[in-house]
Structure 1
Amino acid sequence: MPTKDPMPPEATGNRLQRKLASLTENLPSNTIGALWILLAAFGFSIMVTLIKFLGQDLSVFQILVVRQAVMLAIVAPKILSGLPHSLETKRPGLQLTRIAFATTAMLCGFTAVIEMPLADATAISFSKTFFITIFAIWLLGETVGVHRWGATIVGFLGVLLMLRPDGDGLIDPYALLAIAGAACAGMVMIVVRMLTRTDPPVTILTYQALGVGLIMAAPAIYTWQAPSLGQWGLLVVIGIISWAAQMANIRAFKAGEATAIASLDYTRLLYATIFGALVFSQWPRVETLIGAAIIIAASIYTVRREAKRGRELARASDGRGYNS
């Protein structure tokens, strides 16, 4: 009796893709987007948890340079296949500006994650929403009405609540770093929006991946400590999860409407609270939870109102992840 030839790997992969497509083809697009953004939020939460864990023994520079190297290795085929076009930019100055702000956002945000309770650092990172509003007015000339200004001011009050000074009137310097990271992340989104008018996404990705890695190389070498085999494994996992979470985030906003799924990104606070308690025995302060609730409410109000008025929110899905 003749035996059936084994199915080639390519056919197996195509069959799996068809099966996945058949499982989701009957789902509403917003449902698919919601599933992707929930996956992205979970991935980003795992990423920052691992960064916080490794940050107890390794420098943030070392963690970041390995993270960038792994992500660069993953996207290298796409970058190399696009040469020399992947390096052609009409806005070199703006590309450098983005690299500078992205590097600062990562350094400040990840340092805050390492030194602060995980939920506190995550909650403060949500303040990037109203920084986007401020920068959009300043750099993009966007007109903002009284409702959006009101939501921005309310969100800022939420941040002030989370930065509540201690008994000596001092503010945690790492909380200020978290604010600085959120502000830089907001600026990155605005710059990405400006760059997409002239440069293709692969060019923006190439400059960011190479630029941040090169900047981190020198301080990483200076502060380098030989990781153990287990730490090497976690460093590689951080890079892989970072790439996967960003891809899931992009797929989310490609599949669903931003106004329908954007608020689900705030599930990261729930994950951060759980991971912070289970892994580090850290619980967020009451002020942090209240301030986060104010910021989230103001952000959701802004997104909903902008959609209702038919205006595009100054937000780029592929420019996220810098608190992440």
Structure 2
Amino acid sequence: MDMHQKDPEPSQAAGVSAPPHGNRLNRKFAELTGHLPSNTVGAIWILLAAFLFSIMVTLIKFVGQDLSVFQILVVRQAIMLVIVAPKILSGLPTSLATKRPGLQITRIVFATAAMLFGFTAIIELPLADATAISFSKTFFLTIFAIWLLGEKVGIHRWGATIVGFLGVLLMLRPDGEGLIDPFALSAIAGAACAGMVMIVVRILTRTDAPVTILTYQAFGVGLIMLVPAALTWQAPTLVEWGLLLLVGIVSWAAQMANIQAFKAGEATAIASLDYTRLLYATIFGALVFSQWPRLETLIGAAVIIAASIYTVRREAKRGRELARAADGRGYNN
């Protein structure tokens, strides 16, 4: 596989297009920020995306106290599918034509697992802890890039990866008997699956149209969740229906903001701002759930974030594009 082939633009890789009202909002935003440098515009978008993603996980944690994660996922996917349906339908039958059906299925499976494990951790762990552990996807991404994409990694990137792994171990913090919180392991599993999704999407965008990737993800994840959601279904209250609707809308809006961020700015200049999610998660966790992150979690997150920023900036100097930069970010959140 040619590792030097240029990946598509983030907005294309994400495979999502805003509906007409979204385009009007984008034009209005462009008018307001047209005088600003592109990286500043990208920074504004990614800060907005981080805030919206934090709102999303807060809503999921809140509604997850009474409803199963399967139910939350299937309703979320249905709402997002309705929002992007015009794009999918306008692309038929092209939107169903894939040159890599095996990879499409692989991505659907890992995307489903990433959301299932990740959302379970969000519901069961303090919000900041689950968010911090999710940052370990950078570590897994490096490993998968070496294994599946054949990327050549030097001593500096290996060093950053090892440091990041130590940060993961610090956050897991086994107890006196060497046992690890199963929900922390769920968060790690979700991060690993998210890293795999980003690798697979990077490969898929070289052969399949963005709308095709979107269509298979939209239908695939929802279909997988239908049976377990039906088995665990509890009739939501009117308030819970409202919260579920917000989860779907905010999820879509967060992905749109994330796409616009990497469309406007350079990944190496704005990617580190995504870590503001930890700040938001800490604030929302304290205000809404009266939960504070452990000291080990904060230290471990700082280690992972530092290693990640070092890796991104070093690879930028070498003129390489990391898979983590833009591809697939919207598929596992």
TM-score past 0.5 threshold: yes
Name the CA distance, whole Å, in 2 between partners of 1:78 and 1:249: 18
Name the CA distance, whole Å, in 2 between partners of 1:21 and 1:199: 29
Number of equivalences: 313
C-alpha RMSD of matched pairs (Å): 1.6
Q: Does residue 1:242 correspond to 2:289, yes or no?
A: no
SS at match of 2:130: helix
- In structure 2, the partner of 1:281 is 290
Deviation, 1:170, is 1.1
- In structure 2, the partner of 1:188 is 197
Deviation, 1:51, is 0.4
1:267–1:82 distance in 2 versus 1, CA, 3 Å: same
1:274–1:90 distance in 2 versus 1, CA, 3 Å: same
Equivalent residues of 1:61, 1:216 under 8 A apart: yes
Q: Does residue 1:199 correspond to 2:205, yes or no?
A: no
- In structure 1, the partner of 2:11 is none
Q: Does residue 1:164 correspond to 2:173, yes or no?
A: yes
Equivalent residues of 1:33, 1:255 under 8 A apart: yes
- In structure 1, the partner of 2:123 is 114
Moved more, 133-142 or 162-171: 162-171
SS at match of 2:287: helix
TM-score (norm: length of structure 1): 0.94
Deviation, 1:80, is 0.2
Q: Does residue 1:254 correspond to 2:228, yes or no?
A: no
Equivalent residues of 1:246, 1:318 under 8 A apart: no
Name the CA distance, whole Å, in 2 between partners of 1:173 and 1:293: 22
1:14–1:107 distance in 2 versus 1, CA, 3 Å: closer
1:246–1:14 distance in 2 versus 1, CA, 3 Å: closer
Letter in 1 for 2:265: G
1:277–1:15 distance in 2 versus 1, CA, 3 Å: closer
Alignment partner of 1:144 out of 136, 153, 167: 153
1:259–1:52 distance in 2 versus 1, CA, 3 Å: same
Deviation, 1:130, is 1.3
Sequence identity (%): 86
Name the CA distance, whole Å, in 2 between partners of 1:208 and 1:238: 18
Equivalent residues of 1:154, 1:298 under 8 A apart: yes
Name the CA distance, whole Å, in 1 between partners of 2:249 and 2:282: 23
- Unpaired runs of at least 5, structure 1: 1-11
Residues 168-196 of structure 1: CA deviation (Å, up to 9, x unaligned)? 32110000010000000000000000000
SS at match of 2:235: coil
- In structure 2, the partner of 1:36 is 45
The structure having more radius of gyration, on CA atoms, is 1
TM-score (norm: length of structure 2): 0.91
